[in-house]
Structure 1
């Protein structure tokens, strides 16, 4: 198993930049102005039925979606909400902490190319699992770290990897606070959040947080990347 020791401390310098909107509609307005409809390349549900799914939460879903989309064997990634009990949550509700959901991603992948174990390695290798209810400049339970499992096999894979990280003292004295939870329901986020990093490259959060986070991941996981992601 590949274990990455690179810390994410530099994100703490970006506390003034957040994935959370500054007002009720400001973030959506920016997204709508900058989005290029020609970049909307999401596969339709019928094209995805033959693939496996995995679910993770590790901070702002713009960043997490872009990271998993760069991984070979991953066919599609959707941004959305999971981990709470509220039905049909909206971005405004989740981002302001008005639900128990976290920003999460739904990953469609080909298990003949990439395994669930490797996706778990991608998950832990692309964020800091020791920061409680926080990832970089984003704070609140909606940005907490969660690895969801759909069966006992996936649960064991996740827990075994956490045990390995702790046994090898990867994070020093900082305990891993990632929640390991059974998957129940994923709510797809609003359309303007899908492929947000790709469609909004000039957004200040994307330039200062999301792209640097993606580049750090790429540097540490070169062998996991798609050909066009290098």
Structure 2
């Protein structure tokens, strides 16, 4: 029989192991290689969009919950360094921000609605940071691939600013898309796999709940139960 202190230690260890492996049915099935997720071409009829809105754990979850979005990858964009890693981006010297790549069906959700959801899923008025996460690697960026996407982003910014939803004007960078580098597999679907994590509970979850409350009509039904 285990002594009380050994029993407690064993119980805590098993609990930690169980929690660290927890996931839900909404976790994506992403393929990886050499520790990084694979970036694939969009399916027929799909389009791709990229955003950076602070820690990519919350941004990835916010985007995957939207109707018409099939897949979202966490990664790095906005800088000049090739093949960055989480560690190098954290040094603040790569120019990259934590970002996501969204695969979506424009027949279900338009680019404009995707952009609108992005602006409500984080604080776009904060410069070089999001809440407790400070530095250019956590800055807000909306990437565009075409003149039409640029006009859509600019129009949404004008609308949100005019609504006075935020006390300060939007400070999000609007820049042409150049490259997206996928993040390590451990950062993919981090939110649903780590709901016990204090950071997820206290920093990421409020962003998700904020988006659900603002646009329930854009959220997949399973997330509103």
Q: Scaled by the length of structure 2, what TM-score is found?
A: 0.82
CA distance, structure 1, for counterparts of residue 216 and residue 70 of structure 2: 18
CA distance, structure 1, for counterparts of residue 165 and residue 212 of structure 2: 19
Taking the TM superposition and a 5 Å limit, the aligned residue runs for 1:107-186 are: 107-172=102-167, 174-186=168-180
Q: CA distance change for structure 1 residues 163 and 111 in 2, over 3 Å: closer, same or farther?
A: same
Greater Rg, structure 1 or structure 2? Answer: 2
Q: CA RMSD for the aligned pairs?
A: 2.2
Deviations 1:135-178 (A, max 9, x none): 11110000101000000000000011112223344333x23210
- Equivalent residue number for residue 7 of structure 1: none
Taking the TM superposition and a 5 Å limit, the aligned residue runs for 1:1-230 are: 34-36=20-22, 39=27, 41-42=29-30, 48-50=42-44, 51-172=46-167, 174-230=168-224
CA distance, structure 2, for counterparts of residue 161 and residue 150 of structure 1: 16
Q: Size of the alignment, in residue pairs?
A: 199
Deviations 1:86-108 (A, max 9, x none): 00000011123121000000000
Gaps of 5+ in 2: 1-15, 32-37
Q: CA distance change for structure 1 residues 113 and 187 in 2, over 3 Å: closer, same or farther?
A: same
Post-superposition, which runs of at least 4 consecutive aligned residues in structure 1 deviate over 4 A? 36-40, 43-47
Q: Scaled by the length of structure 1, what TM-score is found?
A: 0.80
Gaps of 5+ in 1: 1-29
Structure 1 window deviating more from structure 2 (159-168 vs 43-52): it is: 43-52
Deviations 1:81-139 (A, max 9, x none): 00001000000111231210000000000111000000010011111111100111110
